[in-house]
Structures are given as structure tokens and as C-alpha cells.
Amino acid sequence: MLKSDIGIIGLGVMGRSLAKNMLSKDFSVSAYNRWTEAEKDIVPNFLKDASDNAQGFTNLSKFVNSLQSPRKIILMVTAGAAVDAVVSELKPLLDSGDIIADGGNSHFKDTQRRVQELKENDIEFLGVGVSGGEQGALHGPCIMPGGKQEAYLQFQPILEAIAAKDNDGKPCVSWIGPDGSGHLVKTVHNGIEYAEMQLIADCYAILSPTHSNEEIAAIFIKWNKGDHKSYLLGITATILQKKEGDDYLIDKVLDKAGNKGTGSWTSQLAFQLGIPTPTINAAVTARYLSSKKEERMKLSKAIPGHAIDEVPSLEALAATYRACRILNHHQGFEVIRAASDAHNWNINLSELARIWTEGCIIKSQLMESFVDVFKNHTSILDDRTILRTILKSEKPFLYTLIYSLKYRLLNSCISESYNYYAFITTAQSSAHIIQAQRDEFGAHTYRRNDRPENESFTTNWTNNG
């Protein structure tokens, strides 16, 4: 048997779909899945409907020997301990110059550590973000590779062939930068995704007391034909229409949201970098609050909601949704910019926005507009047209906020986006009060607005005069 172009470890949904995608582009693929009683059919099932270019293994050393040198291996295993376990099994089987690419949702700090550990054996390690779910992996995902550029170049022809294509036909894959940069941008991609999902859920929460599922679906379909167009809005409209017998299936889905951690990683990272991401944080918190179902049920009996006697303005909600999405993306990109600066990664935000226009879960018309925004600005809110859009949305934004507060309708991301907007556009904040308090109780010092910023002062605040 000829040696394969590439190897994939882990034939779960994403691994299997990526392997099939590569085979469909005429690359030869060796696939490995561990042998356990529960997983014994995985490799045979994969080979059953794979082309002749596929080889399957449950023996790691045979798998490694089936690959062309330098070997290119993609790990599609659960992030965390499983990645370390596979890497330590692989290490003694590999030769200098071989490359391992981790295609899972790993924490970028784990990726940084693995890069260093494998350096000792002269093995390159790439952290590769992959987005698009099963269908994306099968027909064209968005791929965010980070690590040594020379190592990426070995994968480039394969990744470019399997990736989604943007409006100009260019592949939605691009070398993000060195080190853990690929996994970092995938994490923040997911943080933005959490808030994009929650913003749609907030709109649903505001509409649902006065609109049927069909009516909300129709509103979302209409929005999806204009500048609100996004993959997530489209699937939500579809979800709302799904029937089970005479009932809507969505009404039977338990309202406890799960998560695999990347949303909270984005918030943690933002806090570490000192970048405010309240819209994203609110989306993470909303998932945690949702899981407190029993407590919510109990308290809702003690403190019932309000009767609703007016219908929300759809025009105002649409404008609110527009402004919140801009603020959400702004926060996410600011985290990436700060991380890139902190690590000297030099991430190209315009190129990142470009690869996020297709193949990934947060693809949208709005994302397409950011490709040009980042050609001229370092930050989304530096763009005058975008600022004008938000300004035009201010009144409707406020109306929606007041409406949802008045009737106690859940508005996690909408209210936090408004607070962010209010704060970021206020020249004189109340932080001087905080500084004076800190100085009073801890002599932490403060700076003065009538003196150069590099001078600090401390005062005995209790003595007047």
C-alpha cells in the first residue's frame, strides 16, 4: 500500500467528516481510532464507505508507518487529557521533522505547553481551530491554524482544498500566527458565538409572550434576508418551525443550556487581559443561570412575572439586535487584538474576519463588513459608519431595554450590551470615586486630571483643610 498524504487520529463525528472531506479531494488518508469493545466498529465502518485512498488502523505504530515523511497527523480527540495521552503515545513513534496538528478545541495555553514539550524531540505541534460542525467538516470548514509557519506550509495544500470558500472563492483557512494563536482565536470565535446565540435567544424571549413560534420564525426569516443575515439566525428560524406531531419540538426542549467551556475561557482570557467583554460574559452567565432550573421554578412561584399588555416594536428590536451584534463582535476582536499584542503574534484581523465569512458557525453578512473595516482600522468602533449605525439604534435600543425590563423578559446580552455602549461612550465616568475610595482605605494612590499622568498622589481624606 502506498504511504498516505495525511493521518487522522480520532474518528468521532468531526474526525470522520474531515477524513471524508480529504478523501473527496483525492488525498490519501490513514485513519486511526483506538480499539475498545465499545469502539470496535468505528474503523471498519469508516472504511466501508471510504474510497480506496483510505487506510484504517487500530494499531498506532502501523498507522504511523503508513504515513509519508515528514508525517502530518491531525488529532481529532477530545480536548484536555486525551490530547496529552495520544501525544505521549505518538512521540516515541515519530521522527524529527514530523508534525502533529491538534484540531480540537484545546486551551491555547495547553497548546503552548505542547509546542515546547515536542520541541525537545524536534517534532512540530500546530494548534488548529476548526469550526463548522459536522456539515462544515464534511463539506468545507473554517480552519484557523497556529504554530510554526513552516510546519503549517506542509499542511497548507490539504487544508486549503478542504476548507470552505469565501465569496471570492478563496479558502477559509489562513495561518493565524505562531504558538497557540490558532486555538486562541477559535476560543474567542466560540465566545462571540455564545453571545450571537444568546442575542437571538433574548429576541425570542422578548417576542415569545406575544408571538407564536411560527410568527417568530417568520420575523427571523425576514431579518435573515437583510443585513442581519447569519448562519445562526437561519438555523434558529428552522428550529422554531420543527413539529413533533401537532406540537412544536422547541417547546419540549428543556431550557438548561450546556457548554463545553470555550465561552468561559473567552471571558477568563478577557479578564486576564483587562478587556471588557460584558456581552460575551452575559451569554456565559445566562447558560449557567439556565441550568439552575429547579431554583428558578421555585422562585418563580414566590415571585411571579408581570402580565404583558403591549406588543414590542419589531423595528426597535431589529435595530437593537443590530447594535448588540456589532458590540459583541467588537468585544471579541478586542480580546484577540490584545492577546496578539501581548504575545507578539501579529494576527491580521481583516484576514481573520475573511476566513470567518464562510464555513464557521458565526459566518454572517456583518462579518463580511469587518473584512474591510479592519483594513482601515485596528478596532471596529473606530469606523465612523459603524458608529453612526449604533447611534441610529440608540433610541430603539433603549425602548427594547425598557420594554424587556418592564415585563421582566430575559435580556442578558441586550442589557449588558447597552451598559457597555453607555460606558464606552461616556467621557467622564465615576471611576474617580473608586480611585478616591481605594486611596482612602488602602493608600493605593490616585492620579489627578490637572497633573501629568505619571504623577501619583495620596491624601488623608478624613481631614478637611
260 binds ligand 3PG (CB under 6 A): yes
Residues from 11 through 50 that contact ligand 3PG (CB under 6 A): none
Q: How far is the CB of 67 from ligand 3PG (least distance, A)?
A: 27
266 binds ligand 3PG (CB under 6 A): no
Cell of 166: 469565501
Q: Where are the alpha helices (DSSP H) in 125-256?
A: 133-139, 149-162, 181-207, 213-223, 231-241
109 is known as an active-site residue: no
262 binds ligand 3PG (CB under 6 A): yes
Q: How far is the CB of 190 from ligand 3PG (least distance, A)?
A: 5
Measured between alpha carbons, how far is 36 from 22 in angstroms, rounded to an integer?
26
CA angle at residue 188 from 358 to 229, to 5 degrees? Answer: 35
Q: Indicate which single residue of 259, 350, 419, 435 sits in contact with ligand 3PG (rule: CB under 6 A).
A: 259
193 is known as an active-site residue: yes
Residue among 283 and 366 whose Cβ is closer to ligand 3PG: 283
Measured between alpha carbons, how far is 65 from 71 in angstroms, rounded to an integer?
9
Element (H, E) at 54: strand 54-57
For the chain, how are helix, strand and coil distributed in percent, rounded to 5?
Answer: 55, 10, 35
Residue among 102 and 124 whose Cβ is closer to ligand 3PG: 102
465 binds ligand 3PG (CB under 6 A): no
163 binds ligand 3PG (CB under 6 A): no
Q: Which of 124, 186, 334, 358 is catalytic?
A: 186
Residues from 59 through 118 that contact ligand 3PG (CB under 6 A): 105
Q: 73-111 in b/e burial notation, b at 16+ Cβ within 10 A? A: bbbbbebeeebeebbeebeeebeeebbbbbbbbbbbebb
258 binds ligand 3PG (CB under 6 A): yes
> Look-up: residue for cell 481583516?
350
Q: Which residue is nearest to ligand 3PG (CB)?
A: 260
Q: Indicate which single residue of 195, 335, 361, 409 sits in contact with ligand 3PG (rule: CB under 6 A).
A: 361
Contact region with ligand 3PG (CB under 6 A), list: 30-38, 171-179, 259-267, 313-321: 259-267
Residue 75 forms beta bridges with which residues? 9, 102
Catalytic residues: 186, 193
The residues that touch ligand 3PG, with contacts defined as CB under 6 A, are 105, 190, 193, 258-260, 262-263, 361
